[in-house]
Structure 1
Amino acid sequence: MSVLEENPDSPLKKRPPRWSDIWLKKTKPLKHVVFAMQLQSLASKDLKSQTLIPHFANIDRTLLLSDELLLKILSKLPLSQRNPNSLVCKRWLYLQGRLVRSLKILDWNFLVSGRLITRFPNLAHVDLLNGCLFSPRNSGILLTHRMVSMQMRYGNCSNWELLEENLLPVEVVDGGLQALANGCPNLRRLVVINASELGLLTLAEECLTLQELELHKCNDNVLRGIAACENLQILKLVGNVDGLYCSLVSDVGLTILAQGCKRLVRLELSGCEGSFDGIKAIGQCCLMLEELTICDHRMEDGWLAALSYCENLKTLRLLSCKRIDLDPGPDEYLGFCPSLERLHLQKCQLRSKKSVRALFRVCEAVREVVVLDCWGLDNDMFTFASVCRRVKFLSLEGCSLLTTEGLEAMVLSWLDLETLVVVSCKNIKESDISPALATLFCNLKELRWRPDAKSLLSSSLMGTGMGKKGGKFFKRT
């Protein structure tokens, strides 16, 4: 008998093989499966242990900051990061909305539903112009004007019919103004179209800090509501726009405006009618008026004489006026603006000698004269500016009829001239410059001289040595 047989409890005795041992020994893929199951069980145990101890790396540490402190931090970031920051969380979205001060509304439902006030509670500047227009989104036709841009269903109608068809009714616009006034009592600037007297009255009662208003499609009745805005300082009225819409602003409306808005500092009248009486009322009542802009006016003859009542007027701008004043009246009734410093003429037709002469007579105290792309300004017309003896700044651009002789006759008479700008005046030639004019150029503080393309080329090449013979640059070695 062997030793193993005598001692059955000996450790040297081999255990008979089990079926599971034989199976696992011959199946290697099954070992990987078992190992993966073991790892998954270990991971579940670690997860249960992590729930008992918080993981500080996943905590939002900005929750420790108050809204006021976080607002100060977000306000220091550049404007380009506002939209990405609002996507971080709901709190940051709300705080970013509180930082927005200016907004252009494109969807009217966003205003009347109250979402605008909830999303942006601190708005100060609101533009409702494009929001007041309903246009199909899937249209392939786009109508673009200098003021509005909208899509249209078909192109076989006039702009007037298209605007009337897609413009929101007056009642709807007034409802939106009421919702805006109730939610934004600190509103300072507003742009709106097709509003009525009642809508503007509501706005004036609720928004006491309203300082700037731009009103399109305005008429005399609407101006009754504007007159209630006692703190209004900047006002733009758009009455008639050729090819788009037609509204009447006459002396009646200008008088109502003058009696109500006595704190006006800047006034722009675009496409408005009126006469001497309306401008006189503005000059007598609006004593703080410093800047007056008249664009494409329909005023009656004789209105220029009323400018003398604007005693504190410093800037007068005439834009896109087809005529100035065909019958301004005698000189003794014209008067002049004693405080006027700047006269800007842009895209105006200066074809009437009476108009141009009366205009410079009223503006004889100016120190800055700017003429940009005006038709009809030749040597004879420009001589009427000789009454303006205090001119220090003169800018001429796009005056194709003016010659060097006409320019020289005027600038030599202005002893206080310091700055001269001449751009795109093709009849002003460098070859016609006299020694007296050249001496004047040397005494100026600033000179921009580009009357034509040739002078622009010569001035740009000045000092570089280019334009000379090539022997200087191509020498043989």
Structure 2
Amino acid sequence: MASSPDKEKQGSLWFKNKKALNNVLFAMRLHSLTPKQALSQNQTAKQPTGKTLDNFTLTNLVSDKTSLLSDEILLKILSKLPNSQRSANFLVSKRWLNLQGRLLRSIKLLDWDFLISGRLFLRFPNLIHVDLVNGCLISPRNSGIFVSHNQIVSFHVGSDVEHKDWFFDESFVLDANEVDKGLIVLANGYPNLRKLVVINASEIGLLNVAQECPTLQELDLHMCNDRILRGIAGCKNLQILRLSGIVDGIYSSLVSDIGLTVLAQGCKRLVKLELSGCKGSYEGIRAIGQCCQMLEELAFCNHKMEDGWMLALSYCENLKSLRFSSCKRIDGCSGLDEHLGFCRAVESLCLEKCQLRDKTSLRALFVVCQNVRELVLKNCWGLTDDMFGTANVLRRVRCLILEGCSLLTTHGLESVIISWNELKSLKVKSCNSIKDSEVNPTLSSVFSSLKDLKWDPDTKAFLTANLAGSGLKKKGVKFFKKFCDWKSLPQVHRISDS
């Protein structure tokens, strides 16, 4: 792009006037210095110094104007950039590389030696969230086979894996002693650590983290067992805890009532607890409800709990949110309604990717959560009209979200929501057995009283409506007809046409 002569003339006059340029650059540097440094620089500037300014030549100052700014000012500028524009900043210079490392607060470790050698602390001195899972796994980085299980654990595996229990192979996951060494190094380097994700640790390593990192608030433990839970008893300020005991087909670790009781007595400030693949029963859940009185969110993922555990939910007096994910069952021994009790404070109940086989246990869950205000049912197998009818015991539902419930019909939906006088929000998506044509005046009157309605139940009907008038069906018929004609040609003709 050509520049005008006037602009070129102005630019040349600006760079020829070195005295004016020196004054501007010197003023910029004074603003970035402390008052004492600025005073000394001002006194130095009054003395004849020739063609240099504060040991910087004019060429250096012009080529790198950011050198006039202090680290503190430059850090504030870089911190204002969006995350999408921060990743390439370290390519500018070594100084920017160090500054970018100081801004980073969260990291997923891939190289275990990077932690043990201490280079992690030099490169990223201000981390508060560290994920060590991928660093603890000895897996081929260049493998095209990637294993992921419900976002709990994910890793690469090689194509030479043949035997069944390959995950427990010593060549694949670091030994617990080696993981503990890394935790000790990490705790000494980051005393302000707030979140930690680790796999195959032991009691010793977690005890050291609890002692050296008093501000730790969030902890994810993979391959967790009862003995490991003794180590987190010293985390007095722990608020969020995720335990992964058994992951079907990948690893198996036992978390029973013993571990849940130790956990409850040691971490009394828990606000959110997620149990994935954990075994336990009435005793373990009761201990958590009695000791962790600040607990507000409780989640179960593919739980292995013994029958009768749900009777202990009533001890969680301040529980506000209860969530089930990928659970094959809820509770096989529900008992009578008067023995169930109920959680008075529960406001949200969510079931996602669960198998709803037992009508009695589902009804018992609704009885325990009878004060719930929000009910979410997503991609649950077996949710028929009869199963959904057990939700009639709920009387205070204000928001209902249904997604992927293919067996639920319009009649089944109507039979329940017409009795919910406080319902204000309804969202129905991808429930193919619910038809627009089956909406009767009674259901329409319920819809008219809602404040928020998102209605997209039948994905097939939605697709047909979008295709209507586009002529795509006719084009598809013509193409298929031509394709059949082409297939009927002799082989030699097809080859010549190609």
| TM bracket (short chain) | 0.7 to 0.9
Deviation track 1:107-154 (CA, whole Å, cap 9, x = no partner) reads: 000000000011101001111111101123455554444412123261
1:459, distance to aligned residue in structure 2 (A): 7.4
In structure 2, the residue matched to 1:240 is 246
Comparing 152-161 with 345-354, greater Cα deviation is found at 152-161
Comparing 427-436 with 208-217, greater Cα deviation is found at 427-436
Deviation track 1:354-391 (CA, whole Å, cap 9, x = no partner) reads: 21111111010000000011111111111211111000
Give the unaligned 5+ runs of structure 1. Answer: 1-51, 469-477
In structure 2, the residue matched to 1:369 is 375
Q: Give the SS at the match of 2:246.
A: coil
Letter in 1 for 2:196: L
- The verdict on how the C-alpha distance between 1:363 and 1:160 changes in structure 2, with shifts beyond 3 A counting, is farther
1:303 to 2:309 alignment = yes
In structure 2, the residue matched to 1:352 is 358
Q: TM-score, normalised by structure 2?
A: 0.80
Contact 2:141 2:156 in 1 (8 A): no
| Identical pairs, percent | 62
In structure 1, the residue matched to 2:272 is 266
1:382 to 2:388 alignment = yes
In 1, the alpha carbon distance for the partners of 2:108 and 2:102 equals: 16
In 1, the alpha carbon distance for the partners of 2:277 and 2:242 equals: 11
Q: Give the SS at the match of 2:247.
A: coil
In structure 2, the residue matched to 1:109 is 113
In structure 2, the residue matched to 1:156 is 162
- The verdict on how the C-alpha distance between 1:100 and 1:316 changes in structure 2, with shifts beyond 3 A counting, is same
In 1, the alpha carbon distance for the partners of 2:381 and 2:91 equals: 53
Aligned equivalent of 1:441, options 447, 463, 472? 447
In 1, the alpha carbon distance for the partners of 2:137 and 2:278 equals: 23
Q: TM-score, normalised by structure 1?
A: 0.83
In 1, the alpha carbon distance for the partners of 2:396 and 2:470 equals: 40
Q: Give the SS at the match of 1:289.
A: coil
Letter in 1 for 2:311: A
Contact 2:146 2:154 in 1 (8 A): no
- The verdict on how the C-alpha distance between 1:245 and 1:160 changes in structure 2, with shifts beyond 3 A counting, is farther
1:120 to 2:161 alignment = no
Letter in 2 for 1:247: S
1:57, distance to aligned residue in structure 2 (A): 3.1
Letter in 1 for 2:346: L
In structure 1, the residue matched to 2:404 is 398
Give the unaligned 5+ runs of structure 2. Answer: 1-49, 472-498
- The verdict on how the C-alpha distance between 1:298 and 1:164 changes in structure 2, with shifts beyond 3 A counting, is farther
In structure 1, the residue matched to 2:44 is none
Contact 2:320 2:347 in 1 (8 A): yes
Q: Output the aligned Cα RMSD.
A: 2.0
In 2, the alpha carbon distance for the partners of 1:58 and 1:399 equals: 67
Letter in 2 for 1:125: H
In structure 1, the residue matched to 2:339 is 333
Deviation track 1:289-312 (CA, whole Å, cap 9, x = no partner) reads: 100000111111111111111111
Contact 2:115 2:185 in 1 (8 A): yes
Comparing 409-418 with 86-95, greater Cα deviation is found at 86-95
Contact 1:142 1:152 in 2 (8 A): no
Q: Give the SS at the match of 2:311.
A: helix
Q: Give the SS at the match of 1:421.
A: strand
In 1, the alpha carbon distance for the partners of 2:410 and 2:362 equals: 20
In structure 1, the residue matched to 2:5 is none
- The verdict on how the C-alpha distance between 1:80 and 1:375 changes in structure 2, with shifts beyond 3 A counting, is closer
Pairing 1:75-224 to 2, within 5 Å after superposition: 75-137=79-141, 139=143, 141-145=145-149, 146=151, 147-152=153-158, 154-158=160-164, 160-161=166-167, 164-224=170-230
Letter in 1 for 2:181: G
Aligned equivalent of 1:58, options 52, 57, 60? 60
Letter in 1 for 2:437: S
Contact 2:98 2:123 in 1 (8 A): yes
Q: Could you say which structure has the larger radius of gyration?
A: 1
